[in-house]
């Protein structure tokens, strides 16, 4: 199946949480900077407030980014909207991201079970199904998203299914579980991603997206290996590396 989300023409980059070089992660300013560099693919995470508002934020706890203790799931949107990050930035809602970046492709990680239904509702209300891919560390969440949004939703497996898919790629009966992409780290323990593994997964119809790479040498090695995409916090560096390789973000 050809997922609309995966319509890139060349190797490309994801702005992981929008990047963090000019503004705090997962802020409008961070995503806007990435888009100004040519990024069409933006990665974010979502949580839901006590009153059902879906917000773009990675951690369960607010302290690392905002300096304010407590969990997002214990706050209302009115409370969260008053919190300011470094530089005066605010926590955005997923609705804001869809509205502010109407042509961007979003890779979304629902960080808790309760976030899946509001995420699906936001995707539907913005007509964004073709520009969204859902991946999570929970196969239950990924499966729930697919139940709500249907088979046209591009998904990436959680670690358990990812390991099964990777192992099956070397056997007589490979499986994909209906996913469009494999979004994985470059290594898990002693096991490292290889060019052979990348090629085998791609032959199954899966794009290979690797996270989260912030060093030039690793970016170059993975792109040389043939991965479809690299996710990074250092959006300026990856844009430079892709341009040097003759695949600028504008061509993706």
The residues annotated as belonging to the active site are: 16, 58
Query: CA separation (Å) from 47 to 80, 113, 143, 178?
Result: 12, 9, 17, 25
Torsion over CA: 39, 44, 49, 52 (sign): positive
Provide the pairing of β-strand 181-185 with 105-110: unpaired
Q: Which two tokens stand for residue 227?
A: 């991965």
Q: Is 226 left (phi over 0), alpha (psi -120 to 50) or beta?
A: left
Q: What is the DSSP letter of 214?
A: -
47: left (phi over 0), alpha (psi -120 to 50) or beta: beta
What tokens appear for 8 in the block? Answer: 């890139």
Length of the chain measured in residues = 252
Q: What is the torsional sign of CA 155, 157, 162, 165?
A: negative
Tokens of 46: 């979502």
């Amino acid at each position: 199946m050809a997922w609309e989300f995966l319509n890139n023409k060349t190797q490309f980059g994801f702005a992981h949480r929008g990047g963090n070089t000019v503004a705090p992660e997962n802020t409008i300013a961070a995503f806007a900077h990435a888009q100004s560099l040519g990024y069409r693919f933006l990665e974010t995470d979502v949580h839901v407030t006590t009153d059902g508002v879906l917000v773009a934020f990675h951690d369960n706890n607010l302290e690392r980014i905002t300096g304010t203790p407590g969990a997002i799931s214990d706050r209302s949107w009115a409370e969260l909207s008053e919190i300011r990050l470094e530089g005066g930035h605010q926590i955005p809602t997923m609705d804001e991201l869809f509205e502010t970046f109407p042509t961007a492709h979003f890779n979304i990680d629902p960080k808790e079970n309760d976030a899946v239904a509001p995420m699906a509702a936001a995707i539907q209300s913005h007509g964004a199904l073709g520009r969204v891919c859902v991946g999570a560390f929970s196969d239950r969440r990924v499966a729930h998203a697919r139940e709500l949004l249907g088979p046209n939703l591009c998904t990436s497996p959680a670690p358990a299914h990812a390991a099964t898919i990777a192992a099956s790629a070397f056997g007589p009966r490979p499986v994909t579980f209906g996913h469009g992409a494999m979004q994985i780290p470059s290594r898990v323990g002693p096991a490292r991603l290889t060019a052979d593994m990348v090629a085998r997964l791609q032959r199954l119809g899966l794009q290979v997206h690797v996270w989260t790479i912030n060093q030039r040498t690793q970016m170059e090695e993975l792109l040389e290996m043939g991965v479809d995409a690299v996710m990074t916090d250092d959006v300026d560096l990856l844009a430079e590396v892709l341009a040097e390789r003759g695949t600028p973000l504008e061509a993706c």
